[in-house]
Amino acid sequence: MFIAKQKRKENIAEYLLYMWQIEDLIRANNCDIDKIEHNIIDKYNVDDNTKKNIRDWYESLIKMMERENVKGKGHLQINKNIIILLSELHLSLLKSPKFPEYGAEFYKTLPYIVELRAKAGDNPEGEIETCFNALYGTLLLKLQHKEISKETSSAVTQIAKFIAKLAALFKQDEQKPLFGDEEEII
């Protein structure tokens, strides 16, 4: 809860990856708040009121996962909305002549995105979601101490660089909109 709030303020990409991890932690504990309390919340060195707030947060996420039918797989709508916002900003940045360095970074990343989408097959996810899936998949491999090929590592390095640029521009845009009335945001 506290980590999520901090990451949301500082870096939208880290926030989204963290929230995907939270979804998986909830699933790993069978969407059971008592298991989550025992396995996760009780490990926090905080007062009882703070633990209650953390429990309430997890409980609300479990309820959302149940309502949205993502207990087994998929992402909460609040997390999908972040992908949508990032995708909209991405398209606006590509259209704008004010951000040539962003476009250059994207076009360096595009071959990796195309390759990942081809490997995924019939999955119609967008470019930004493809990037996040690659980053999250690599994070999971690292957590499982699995080997990551040199090719995958170099692809993920470029994807991370691109997503970091998008996240920085997202933060800027939240603080002071990058596009005024003269430019239409998609």
What pLDDT does residue 119 have?
83
Per the CB < 8 A criterion, the answer to whether 168 and 14 are in contact is no
What pLDDT does residue 183 have?
47
Half-sphere exposure of 158 (CA within 13 A, CB side): 15
Cβ neighbours of residue 75 under 8 Å, at least 6 residues apart? 20, 23
- Compute the average pLDDT of residues 76-90: 97
What pLDDT does residue 181 have?
57
pLDDT bucket at 1, cuts 50 / 70 / 90: confident
Q: Where are the domains of the chain?
A: 2-67, 98-175
- Compute the average pLDDT of residues 168-172: 97
* pLDDT tens, residue by residue, 107-164: 999 999 999 988 877 666 899 999 999 999 999 999 999 999 999 999 999 999 999 9
* pLDDT tens, residue by residue, 10-54: 999 999 999 999 999 999 999 999 999 999 999 999 999 999 999
Per the CB < 8 A criterion, the answer to whether 65 and 76 are in contact is yes
What pLDDT does residue 180 have?
75
| Cα distances (Å, whole numbers) of residue 180 to 3, 158, 163, 165, 167 | 32, 30, 23, 20, 19
Q: What pTM value is reported for the model?
A: 0.91
pLDDT bucket at 168, cuts 50 / 70 / 90: very high
What pLDDT does residue 118 have?
87
Residue 105 or 122, more confident: 105
Q: Which residue has the tokens 């995708």?
A: 87
Q: Is it the case that residue 70 has pLDDT exceeding 60?
A: yes
